[in-house]
Structure 1
Amino acid sequence: MGVADRLDLTLRLVQGSDRVSVSELSHRLGVSEMTVRRDLDALERQGLVRRVHGGAVATRPLEEGGGFAAREQWQPATKERLGAAVAALVEPGSRVLLDAGTTTVHVAEHLAGRGPLTVTALSLQTAARLADRPGIELLVVGGRSRPGEHSLVGPLALRTLESLSFDCFVMSIGGVHAQQGWSEFSLEDAAVKQAGLAQSARTIAVADATKLGVRAFSKVAPLDAAHCFVTDAAAEDAATHPGGPQTLQALRKAGVETLLV
């Protein structure tokens, strides 16, 4: 396991527990306690965990209110793999609607090499990654930039989406649950995703495994609204992601293709 992937998994293990010890992390990760301590120190410097005697505890939940800048540091190696996998599913020549979110920034970087594409961006961050890239015709949805997130929301964004049609919607998501379906923490972001779903021939949903089993505040759509779901292979590990296997089973039962990377 590379350093970046080990840091991702360490952070997941800490976030998934009230408190985790250095010895437990050493056993789970198959590395020395000295290595674990170095990794925890690195994560603490980023503000992602807090060191306590003999172990570490989680800081505030990043996905529910840390803002884009805070969440951007969460699992970068995992999101890079997800971004590459999603971009590989997009056919050159497509009209793509690209959602807001920290994972879709990585998708944008890989889409830059998949041109020719017409990409409509739902956030300022993804638009910045694709501006002036050869082979990419970039459109930016109007609307209000949501503070802390820079996702584009509101009536203007919705009206713009209703006037367009897309071959593919790459949808990031705050939560996916066997009963609730796809959901988001923000009502405004949920409304934009609903419009994107309605205007797209195909939807590829993408999220890291920590989103499986999560019921966020606002329901976006039932599970079968997406055609494909891309997540990381840790979703199958019930020890680190208790809601993962059940959610994957529900997705497959709903006819959603699941791709684990």
Structure 2
Amino acid sequence: MFALERREKIYDYILRNGNVTVLELSKKLEVSEVTIRKDLSFLEKKGLIDRTFGGAMVKSPIIKEQNYLEKEKYMINEKNLVGQKAAGFVKPSSTIILDAGTTIMELAKNIVNIEDLKVITTDLKIALFLSDFSNIEVTLIGGKVSVKSKECIGVETCNIVEKYNADACFLCCDAFDGNGNFMTTSIEKMYLKHTFMEISEKSFMLATSDKYGKKSMIKVTTAHKLTGIIIDKQSPKLIKDFDKIDVDNCVFV
């Protein structure tokens, strides 16, 4: 069993039971207690759980994953502005990765006229939308389909993505804070976004200001590790806070 799969099982088990012991998890998953302790330490560092004496208990995230249809209704104009700006970083005859999400979909809508473009994505809706344009070669990376986000995620998906190289990846997040930490709702999504970044020469984060000041399960990356960040300028506090932490790779639109 891969570490990712095991940690997902551990977290799901803790969610269902509230708290568990190391011995209990060791017997259930048939791995050593040392391995379980390492897994619990990993989950604790990601902010998913709290360690207890001999075990762990769940720490509920503030932001949970929303249904795709729900997210489509909010910040429509802002998402379009972010998508338009991000499209300016997409060059003809390049290979790009598009993360899943409604803001990334707005980017997809703004790149349909770029010639000889190769797009790699795990988002079912984005792949279907871009497949209508003969100037764009679309590669849909398969795997386990998320009912809520309409994307493929999981170990198999990451393994396939690792085989590619890209000029740039365009990511989304579920929450971000004043320290420039960008977060998502699951370990699987975090691993996938990390893989996108690893195989891409440049990495861009697209976000809307309604996600600012919130927290989600897992930290994906920090502002300083990204090539660029594109956010709408509806929040003066956000702009002020990012100025304090000297984020010079952020564009507000």
Which residue of 2 is the match for residue 104 of structure 1?
104
What is the match of residue 240 of structure 2?
245
Within 1, Cα distance between the matches of 2:65 and 2:168? Answer: 28
Q: Tell me if structure 2 keeps the 8 A contact 1:176–1:215.
A: yes
Give 1:248 deviation, angstroms: 4.9
Per-residue CA shift, 1:154-209, capped at 9, x if unaligned? Answer: 01110011111110000111122244622112222111101111111001110111
CA distance in 2, matches of 1:71, 1:169: 21
TM-score with structure 2 setting the length: 0.71
Unaligned runs of 5+ in 2: 1-62
Higher relative contact order (CA 8 A, sep 6+): 2
2:250 corresponds to which of 222, 241, 258: 258
Amino acid at match of 2:228: C
1:110-157 Cα distance to aligned partner (Å, 9 max, x none): 111122210001210111110131210100111111111112100111
Matches within 5 A, 1:195-210: 195-210=195-210
Q: Given residue 103 of structure 1, which amino acid in structure 2 is its aligned partner?
A: T
Instruction: Please say if 1:175 is aligned against 2:167.
Output: no
Calculate the TM-score normalised by the size of structure 1: 0.69
SS of the residue corresponding to residue 96 of structure 1 reads strand
| Matched ranges for 1:69-148 at <5 A | 69-148=69-148
Q: Decide whether aligned partners of structure 1 residues 248 and 157 sit closer, same or farther in structure 2, where only a CA change above 3 A counts.
A: farther
Structure 2 partner of 1:37: none
Q: How big is the alpha-carbon RMSD for the aligned residues of Structure 1 and Structure 2? A: 1.7
Secondary structure in 1 matching 2:166: coil
Alpha-carbon offset, residue 215 of structure 1? 2.5
Shift of 1:77: 1.3
Q: What percent identity do the matched residue pairs reach?
A: 20
Structure 1 residues 180 and 218, CA, compared in 2 at 3 Å: closer, same or farther?
A: farther
Q: Is the 8 A contact 2:187 2:218 kept in 1?
A: yes
**Aligned pair in 2 of structure 1 residues 245, 180: CA closer, same or farther (>3 Å)?**
closer
Please give the alpha-carbon distance, in whole angstroms, between the structure 1 residues aligned to 2:184 and 2:155: 18
Aligned to 1:233, the other structure's residue is in SS state coil
Letter in 2 for 1:182: F
Unaligned runs of 5+ in 1: 1-62
